[in-house]
A and B are shown apart, each in its own frame.
Chain A
Amino acid sequence: NAGVTQTPKFRILKIGQSMTLQCTQDMNHNYMYWYRQDPGMGLKLIYYSVGAGITDKGEVPNGYNVSRSTTEDFPLRLELAAPSQTSVYFCASSYPQKALPYGYTFGSGTRLTVV
């Protein structure tokens, strides 16, 4: 049981380049999320999904796109990378049932630097 797996762990992008951050979970969780964490700061929600085919914007969605074609996968796409997108990106998932905790399981993060 791997939990939430993110790839890559590190990446350096040049301004204007694009990339996809991969996230997959094997816990059959309905809900998945993408957060960014700037140095010394808290977590800001980029996008979230409550199930396959359903996505919605969080606090800071500009410059990003997501898709959710399967329950397991929730990739985050960066188009035209900008220095302001330098951050650590965390994917997370949760299983929203009353009998179970709503707490998130986080992936190990992707450290992205845009130069």
Chain B
Amino acid sequence: GENVEQHPSTLSVQEGDSAVIKCTYSDSASNYFPWYKQELGKRPQLIIDIRSNVGEKKDQRIAVTLNKTAKHFSLHITETQPEDSAVYFCAASNTGGFKTIFGAGTRLFVKA
């Protein structure tokens, strides 16, 4: 069945450094790729997304890139801050957004 692989499972960076999380999807019909941030004990929250007709999208310190040919997409966080510490989930879905498949998550630690 369809799946989304996410790497690394854990990432530790120094405050101010960049963090990169990578995902690979299997379903060629996927055309929407959201990223969610989940702080400890809280609900996942959408932080950025990208559609298949766009190769890159940026919002302040976060950016996403998509390579449809390779079925890869990545989250880039620059100038990391302690409040960026959380679990990040990538996801892939088809038109309409239902049956979204989530990656297993990346636990990001930003050390002050």
| Given contact pairs A43-B44, A102-B34, a sample of 17 additional A-B residue pairs in the complex whose CB atoms are under 8 Å apart | A41-B105, A42-B104, A43-B89, A43-B102, A48-B99, A50-B96, A50-B98, A58-B99, A94-B97, A101-B49, A102-B93, A104-B34, A104-B36, A105-B46, A106-B43, A108-B42, A108-B43
* Smallest CB gap from B35: residue in A: A103
Per DSSP, chain B at the interface is loop
CA distance A60 to B32 in the complex (A): 23
- Chain B residues with CB under 8 Å of A96's CB are 95-98
* Residue among B43, B49, B95 making CB contact with A90, cutoff 8 Å: B43
Query: How many A-B contacts if CB must be within 8 Å?
Result: 58
How many A residues are at the interface, by size bracket? 20 to 34
**A75 within 8 A of partner (CB):** no
Q: A102 near B97 (CB under 8 angstroms)?
A: yes
Interface string of B68-112 (1 = CB under 8 A from A): 000000000000000000000100010111111011110000000
- Chain B residues with CB under 8 Å of A31's CB are 96-98
**Residue from A41, A105, A106 with most neighbouring chain B CB atoms (10 Å):** A106
Q: B98 near A33 (CB under 8 angstroms)?
A: yes
**B45 within 8 A of partner (CB):** yes
* Residue among B43, B49, B95 making CB contact with A103, cutoff 8 Å: B49
Q: A103 near B98 (CB under 8 angstroms)?
A: no
CA distance A67 to B112 in the complex (A): 47
CA distance A102 to B98 in the complex (A): 8
- Chain A residues with CB under 8 Å of B44's CB are 43, 90, 104, 106
- Chain B residues with CB under 8 Å of A109's CB are 43
**Residue from B36, B89, B100 with most neighbouring chain A CB atoms (10 Å):** B100
* Residue among A41, A45, A90 making CB contact with B99, cutoff 8 Å: A45
* Residue among A42, A45, A48, A107 making CB contact with B89, cutoff 8 Å: A42
- Chain A residues with CB under 8 Å of B32's CB are 102
A31 CB to closest chain B CB (Å) equals 5
- Chain B residues with CB under 8 Å of A105's CB are 46
